[in-house]
Amino acid sequence: MARKYLIETYGCQMNAHDSERMAGLLEQAGYEATSDAADAEVVVINTCSVREHAEDKLYTRLGELRVLAQEGGHNPIVVVAGCVAQQEGGSLLKRSPGVADVIVGTQAIKRLPMLVERAMATRRPAIDLDPFEDVTFPLGITRRSDPVKAYVTIIEGCNEFCSFCVVPYTRGNERMRPKADILADARDAAASGRKELQLLGQIVNHYEAPDDPSCDFTALVEAIHEIDGIERIRFSSPHPRHFSRAFLEAMQRLPKICRHLHLPAQSGSSQILQAMRRRYSRESYLELVHTIRELLPDVALSTDIIVGFPGETDADFEDTLSLTREAQFHSMFSFKYSQRPNTLADKRMPDDVPESVKTRRIVELQALQHTIQSAINARTVGQTVQVMVDAASRRLDTELSGRTSQNVVVNLPGSADWIGRTVPVRIERAGPHSIWGQVSLTDAPTEPTLQNAGN
Ligand code: SF4
């Protein structure tokens, strides 16, 4: 009987994709997936350290696995992977002796099966935190978890060193994946029936192909746009300071590029942006927003905001509120600042905004954003939008969900065999986080059109 593995993933899309890669590597080594830790010989916890809260989840889960071992007598090989593994390394074992058998850093995941075998044979911890320049990944190994969408990494690591961010320390310096490797991966995803590609990198729009000096991010997306079978292209995340007009003009002429841009602002105050080392100002960010609105009026914007960064005054926070009003984001991820190890802010800037003030600010910001996105979504009622159906809704067996090109979640009645199709949906009802509608047969002349409708 095949040995079983379980991978639990916290954090971002990059981590989700690393888990797909680790799953493929373990399956190549003869393991089978299970969803039950009590049934697994190998349990991988793929961790996130971007927020303190995410890191705490690892220690909670390691404690639960220890209880499983003590009370149930089941003692799997426990692997800690991801950003906390890279950040903490062997000190994880000092903090909680015996809780992990393998610690694999973010750049060493290709060595996972070998490290697991070594830990099994020796019953001693195996640790690999080494940096690897090589960001190629063998074709056909990744076990893609979504039948409709595929992640494709284009850049790993980051050289920006924003003062609040752990990524340059946990994912290493910026390394570009060769264009040939990316295109092969994208074609492989299309051949396996995936309709939507999500290009991944810390700063996707900084891409320069190491194997083709003439290929920047715009040229890469143009090349991917040519691949038959791919209907939609998304990417996360671009950096506001690396946007080029050439890319926005490419978006005008390339219909497969989704009408959604994630533009992490982080703050609306130029003073705080400078302390964050973001290297753009409030003014230049808003200028970019206005250029996008002018060239691409149907594009939805989303953003990330941190409140309570060291030194943030009420006036700075007011600037964040006014930027939010002006930019009219479709959605926002907002966080209270927490100190992250090794970062410039951790070393040099006291965490001086009281917790109660951070809480008050985030509540106010989220209330404002709630009002803005409720109004944006309400304007879709009565419109017909193209929806790529990607899943059965979590709430109802008979309900499907999908996304518009603008990345708005749409719920609609229908059967599971619609998953993967793009269908016209007439919107009947809107909430702040998603909208509801019915497939509109008047907007879809024949059933076969439903299968092929573009976005
Ligand atoms: S650009 Fe800044 S926030 Fe984004 S990953 Fe790099 S260091 Fe972190």
What CATH code is carried by the domain that includes residue 154? 3.80.30.20
Same domain? 205 vs 228: yes
Decide whether any atom of ligand 1 lies within 6 Å of the 104 Cβ. no
Instruction: Kindly report the protein residue whose alpha carbon is nearest to atom 1 of ligand 1.
Output: 160
Decide whether any atom of ligand 1 lies within 6 Å of the 160 Cβ. yes
- Positions in the chain short of pLDDT 50: 444-455
394 C-alpha to ligand 1 centroid (Å)? 32
Decide whether any atom of ligand 1 lies within 6 Å of the 127 Cβ. no
For 158-188, the three-class secondary structure string (H helix, E strand, C coil) is CCCCCCCCCHHHHCCCCEECCHHHHHHHHHH
Does 42 map to a domain?
yes
Distance (Å, whole) CA 270 – CA 316: 8
pLDDT tens digits, residue range 301-344? 999 999 999 999 999 999 999 999 999 999 999 999 999 999 99
Ligand 1 pocket test, pick from 203, 241, 280, 333 with the greatest ligand atom count within 8 Å of Cβ, gives 203
Residues 307, 320 contacting (CB under 8 angstroms): yes
- Residue 449: per-residue pLDDT: 33
| Count of structural domains, the chain | 3
Residues 142, 21 contacting (CB under 8 angstroms): yes
Residues 217, 204 contacting (CB under 8 angstroms): yes
Instruction: Kindly report the protein residue whose alpha carbon is nearest to atom 4 of ligand 1.
Output: 202
Nearest to 380, CA basis, from 404, 414, 413:
404
Residues 46, 49, 54, 60: is their CA dihedral positive or negative?
positive
Q: How is residue 390 written in tokens? A: 């990607």
Same domain? 35 vs 121: yes
Instruction: Write the burial class of residue 163 (CB in 10 Å: 0-12 exposed, 13-18 middle, 19+ buried).
Output: buried
306, β-bridge pairs: 335
What is the span of the domain harbouring residue 432? Answer: 384-452
Distance (Å, whole) CA 61 – CA 131: 27
Vertex 262: Cα angle to 364 and 46 (nearest 5): 90
39 C-alpha to ligand 1 centroid (Å)? 38
The three-state secondary structure class of 247 is helix
Decide whether any atom of ligand 1 lies within 6 Å of the 168 Cβ. yes
Does 144 map to a domain?
no
Same domain? 214 vs 348: yes
Same domain? 97 vs 159: no
Same domain? 296 vs 241: yes
Same domain? 318 vs 219: yes
113 C-alpha to ligand 1 centroid (Å)? 30
- Residue 397: per-residue pLDDT: 64
Nearest to 343, CA basis, from 90, 105, 160:
160
CB atoms within 10 A of CB 405: 24
- Phi/psi zone of residue 407: left (φ > 0), alpha (ψ -120 to 50 degrees), beta? left
Domain boundary among 376, 392, 412: 376
